Structure 1
Amino acid sequence: MRRIVAINGSERAEGNTLGVLEHAATTLATRSVELEIVRLAELRMGPCGPCGDCNSRTVACEVDDDIADVVRRMTAADGIIYAAPVHGFGTSALMQAFIERSGVGYLRFDRPLTNKVAGVIVTGRRYAHTEVHSHLVTNVMLNRMVLVGSGFPAIVYGNQPGDAEHDDEGLQMVDRMLHRMVDMIEVLHEHRELTGRDGLDTDLANERDDRWFAARSSPIG
C-alpha cells in the first residue's frame, strides 16, 4: 500500500486543519493509499538551539527531540503533505518551527525528500492564505520534491472548528490535489520499475555536500 505523510502544523487538537486532513484520509482510502497524520502539537519539538553553526556544520542536528523520527517517517513515505493554518497572518508557529528544525537540522544534508510527491493545504478564516501557501510551496521546492497542483490552490476557509467542512470548493481542490498526488506517485513508481532508475536526477550537489563546499572554496579561473 502506498503511504503519504501529512504534517499537521496546527496547535489545535481538533481544529479545521485536522478536519481537512481527516477528509483527505477518506479520499485517499478510495485509492488504497494510507494517510499518516503527524500532529506537531503532540511532538517533543524544541526550538533551534544557540549553537549558531547551522550554516557550516555537515552533520545532523544534536538537539534531542522527536524531529529526527518524523524525518525518517517522511523519508520512508511515497508522498508528503504540508498542512498548516493561517495564524497572525502568517504560517503557524508550530509549522515554522518544524520547517526550521527539520530543514536546517536534517534535510539539508542529503535532501532525502528528493522526488517525493508533495502537496500543500492551507486553512484559515480570511486573510494571508496565499502567502502561507507560497511559503510552504517554497519549502517543498527547496527539498526537491515533485509538487502537484489542483488548479486553484488547496485552500480551505473556516474559522471555528468544523467550518472548513462546509467549504465545498476548497475541499474539491483538496481532493483534486490528492488524486493527482496518487497519480504522480504511480507514474514515478512505474518508471522506476521499468527503467531501474529514478525519473529525476538525484545526483545534485547541495549546500551540505562536499562538492558544494569544494566549488565555493576553489579559486576562480
Structure 2
Amino acid sequence: MKVLGINSSARKDGNTAILMNKIFEVLHKKGIETELVQLSGQVIEPCKACWACSDQGNCVHRKDCFREIFGKMKEADGILLGSPVYSANISANMQALLERAAVVGDMNPSLFTHKVGAAVTAARRGGALQAIDTMNHFFLNHEMFVAGSTYWNMGYGQLPGDVKEDHEAFGNMENLGQNIGYLLRALKERQDG
C-alpha cells in the first residue's frame, strides 16, 4: 500500500511538510509506503477546458509537472493533500492541481473510486477550515473515503518550523495517520477477502 502526499506550499519542507511528515511517520510504522511531492518552485498551470483528457486518462498538456503527479495519484492507494492557507483558502498551485485532476477524473470515471483521502493545512491564523473543505471536496466528488481525526487537520505557525510548537496539531496528525492506516488496511482486507 502506498500514500502519495502532495504539498502545495511555496516553502519546501515548511510547516505544511512538517505536518505531513508527522503523518508519514505513523504510516511507516504500519508498513505503508509513502512519497511526498513538493510543489515548491514549480507552477501548475490551470485547466484549459479543452476536454482532450476524455480519452487519455491524463491531461494532454505537458508544460508543467501535472501529468507526472497525476499518474502517481492514480497509482496510490491513498492521497494526502497539504496546503498552507493563502487568502483564506488553498494555494494557487493546489487549486490548479485539483481543478485539472477533477476534470480528468470527471472525464474518466472511477480513477479515484475507493481510494483514501486526507487533507491538512498550516495556517498563521484563519482560513484553515475553508482550505480543508476545498481539498476534501475533491475527495468526496470522486468517490473517495475521507479519513478524519479528533479535530480539524490543521496546525498553526507563521515562520517555517513554528508549527512544531502546536502540540495539539501534532497529536491530531498522529491520530490522522493511525486512521489513514486503519482505513487502508480495512479496504485492502475487504478487497482481498
TM-score normalised according to structure 1 size: 0.79
Q: Which residue number corresponds to residue 172 of structure 2?
A: 173
Instruction: Please give the per-residue CA displacement for 1:40-95, whole angstroms capped at 9, x wherever unaligned.
Output: 2355632333xx444x9733432113212212211211211111110122211111
User: How many percent identity over aligned positions?
Assistant: 25
Could you tell me whether the CA contact under 8 Å between 1:75 and 1:113 is conserved in 2? yes
Q: Any residues of structure 2 matched to 1:64-75 within 5 Å, and which?
A: 64=62, 65-75=64-74
- Distance across 1 between alignment mates of 2:167 and 2:160: 16
- Distance across 2 between alignment mates of 1:58 and 1:31: 37
**Which has the higher Rg, Structure 1 or Structure 2?**
1
Q: Any residues of structure 2 matched to 1:57-206 within 5 Å, and which?
A: 58-60=54-56, 61-64=59-62, 65-104=64-103, 106-108=104-106, 109-194=108-193
Q: Which residue number corresponds to residue 217 of structure 1?
A: none
Q: Which has the higher contact order (CA 8 A, sep 6+)?
A: 2
- Distance across 1 between alignment mates of 2:13 and 2:38: 11
Sort the Cα spacing of 1:31 and 1:75 in 2 relative to 1 into closer, same or farther, 3 A.
same
- Distance across 2 between alignment mates of 1:57 and 1:85: 29
* Counterpart code for 1:174: M
Q: Which residue number corresponds to residue 23 of structure 1?
A: 22
- Distance across 1 between alignment mates of 2:44 and 2:50: 19
- Distance across 2 between alignment mates of 1:27 and 1:37: 14
Q: Offset of 1:161 from its aligned partner?
A: 0.5
- Distance across 2 between alignment mates of 1:160 and 1:91: 17
Q: Offset of 1:188 from its aligned partner?
A: 0.9
- Distance across 2 between alignment mates of 1:159 and 1:35: 26
Could you tell me whether the CA contact under 8 Å between 1:68 and 1:102 is conserved in 2? no
Instruction: Please give the per-residue CA displacement for 1:165-213, whole angstroms capped at 9, x wherever unaligned.
Output: 111111111111111111111111111111xxxxxxxxxxxxxxxxxxx
TM-score normalised according to structure 2 size: 0.90
Sort the Cα spacing of 1:57 and 1:28 in 2 relative to 1 into closer, same or farther, 3 A.
closer
Q: Which ranges in structure 2 are unaligned for 5 or more consecutive residues?
A: none
Aligned with 1:87: secondary structure? coil
Q: Offset of 1:110 from its aligned partner?
A: 2.0
Aligned with 1:151: secondary structure? coil
Could you tell me whether the CA contact under 8 Å between 2:22 and 2:173 is conserved in 1? no
Length, aligned pairs only? 189
Aligned with 1:47: secondary structure? coil
1:7 aligns with 2:6: yes
Aligned with 1:97: secondary structure? helix
- Distance across 2 between alignment mates of 1:69 and 1:57: 14
* Counterpart code for 2:29: T
Could you tell me whether the CA contact under 8 Å between 2:83 and 2:121 is conserved in 1? yes
Q: Which ranges in structure 1 are unaligned for 5 or more consecutive residues?
A: 195-221
